[in-house]
Amino acid sequence: MKEQIESMKQKAMEQIAKSENAQALNDVRVQYLGKKGELTAVLRGMGALSAEERPIIGSLVNVVKEELETRIKEKEAQFAKEELERRLKEEKIDVTLPSSKIRRGSKHPLNRIIEEVEDLFVSMGYDVAEGPELETDEYCFERLNLPKGHPARDMQDTFYITTEYLLRTQTSAVQARVMMANEEKNPIRVIVPGKTYRRDDDATHSHQFNQVEGLVVDKNISLADLKGTLEVFVRKMLGEDLDLRFRPSYFPFTEPSYEVDVTCFKCKGKGCNLCKQTGWIEVLGSGIVHPNVLKMNGYDPEKYSGFAFGTGLDRLAMFKYGITDIRLLYQNDVRFLEQFDRKDEENEIKY
């Protein structure tokens, strides 16, 4: 019996030594130590032994059992260690290798200009308002003192959708919306950046472009307020040393109306091809809000007065960044767009 157990142990030890993975090891365990295992069977058959033999064989079986278990555990630990080492080796990351380059996007020049204008006016206490691009004839024209059939409608080539609906030709449309929405008739200080549409398409005109409108309505607003505000606006955006010139003009929604010129920033007023030898460049339309506009939109012109202005943001961006074709602003060519990060660093105006 003893020999039988010893040779069983011998065989098991050999099988353990030979097993190459956890699965094989487990098979050995089941073969000898499992419920139906060979060593277990010996223990079960102990009843047939004599009283003297029973404790001797019993303790022998237990010793062998423990030995096998220990050996299996050792072997298991060895497999686990090998597996860990293999993974460490296989999954090793060399942090000193150069990484693949991530290309950074850059902000579109128009968005830069819009943000700059918004920051400036918000710092002066203005709100930023918005209005629909698909606008009604009423808000785009009628409420701005431009009734149907008014000759000044020819100033803007309009995309009509129906007789009532159109693509707004000017952010001025939002002037009427802001006034009409203000039921308490509180003072108004807003700017309105937004997309506008006209039937134009050449190097300096795009059928879709961007404007920013300004509207202030309060008691005792005068031309001095308009001039002071536009001076700050133009100088902060285009250069502190620039002069402004107010030229009488005509817009149906303002009276008096002005076009605002700024010293040509290319030749500093001496005369060049950019300013067509005049020394000045037109940048804005503006004026004192027409009493009819105040009245039509719910403000008593006897009590309130206001000023308004509007300018093309594309033109501002073109001046500021030296862009010669407006269509570049709408083609989203990365080679064009990525230059503006550098322009920012240089922080200078080029033509």
What angle do helix axes 223-238 and 313-321 make, rounded to 10 degrees?
40
Which H or E run contains 128?
strand 127-128
φ, ψ dihedrals at 18, nearest 5°: -80, -25
| Residues 153, 141 contacting (CB under 8 angstroms) | yes
CB of 287 to ligand DAH, least distance (A): 4
CB of 157 to ligand DAH, least distance (A): 12
**Token representation of residue 308:** 């308004």
Which H or E run contains 258?
strand 254-263
CB of 334 to ligand DAH, least distance (A): 31
CB of 285 to ligand DAH, least distance (A): 3
Residue (28 or 176) nearer to ligand DAH, CB: 176
List contacts with ligand DAH (CB under 6 A).
Answer: 170, 172, 213, 251, 254, 285-287, 308-310
Where does 185-326 have alpha helices with state H?
Answer: 223-238, 291-296, 313-321
Residue (116 or 200) nearer to ligand DAH, CB: 200
Residue (42 or 244) nearer to ligand DAH, CB: 244
CB of 260 to ligand DAH, least distance (A): 10
Q: What's the longest Cα–Cα distance across the chain? A: 130
Within 10 Å of residue 126's Cβ, how many Cβ atoms? 20
Residue (254 or 263) nearer to ligand DAH, CB: 254
Residue (12 or 238) nearer to ligand DAH, CB: 238
Reference 293, options 306, 274, 279; nearest CA is 306
CB of 274 to ligand DAH, least distance (A): 21
Q: What angle is formed at CA 319 by the lines to CA 317 and CA 321, rounded to 5 degrees?
A: 65
Report how far residue 178's alpha carbon sits from residue 340's, in angstroms, rounded to the nearest whole number: 34
Residue (39 or 238) nearer to ligand DAH, CB: 238
